[in-house]
Amino acid sequence: MDRQEFKPRRNLAVGLTLGMVLLYTFWHTLLFISDALYMSKNADAAAMASFNLEMKQAIVLLIFAAIMTFYFVGCRPYLYVIEKKEIISKKRWFKDKHLDLMKAEIITDPVPRLADLVTRPHAIEIYDMEKRRHKYFPVDAAGFTNAVVKSNKRIHCTVKSYTDRYRKISRRDRRENERRRRRSA
């Protein structure tokens, strides 16, 4: 089995959140720098106390923005690789996550749970023998499912996009085989 790579689907909410945090941090940093330039010329005791408070806020905001950027950019998967009966979720700055497909039992569309506030409709869930749920968000869900099913023939598949396409293909193949059989007879 050769190596197959799938890109994850982009999450709009994550992108907007990170963009707003970085934009607010940039704006707050510009205001802090302008206040610092103003304070270097006109300094009194009350203004210095206010400046020290703003400096602490700016430092906390920069640390928060750095942590958010580290998490959203570095700890989220940027590539799913299926090779040698294993799924590898590649991450930029964090350890890659491996899932042995021979221990997987079911691949399915997202199942709504009480613990989830929002169920993402583009997710592919794989349950292993210990009934743990592994979520994947590939752009090409049917291709990803096809690669997983080819890697592990014993896995039970209930992904709607894959099963609909597979049924159409298998129906067409059965019809062609039946026509060939009739013609040869």
Chain segment 54-112, per-residue pLDDT in tens? 888 888 999 999 999 998 888 889 999 999 899 999 999 889 999 999 999 999 988 77
Express as a percent the part of the chain with pLDDT over 90.
38
Residue whose tokens read 């790579």:
5
End-to-end Cα separation, the chain, in angstroms: 38
Cα four-point dihedral sign 20, 23, 29, 32: negative
Secondary structure letter of residue 103 according to DSSP? G
Q: List strand residue ranges (DSSP E) for 101-170, in order.
A: 104-108, 124-128, 133-136, 156-158
Is the pLDDT at 23 greater than 70? The verdict is yes
Average pLDDT over residues 114-121: 64
The tens digit of pLDDT for each residue in 148-175 reads 998 988 888 888 888 877 777 777 888 8
User: pTM of the full predicted structure?
Assistant: 0.74
Cα dihedral: 96, 99, 100, 105 (round 10): 180
Q: Is the pLDDT of residue 6 over 90?
A: yes
Phi, psi of 59 (to 5 degrees): -65, -45
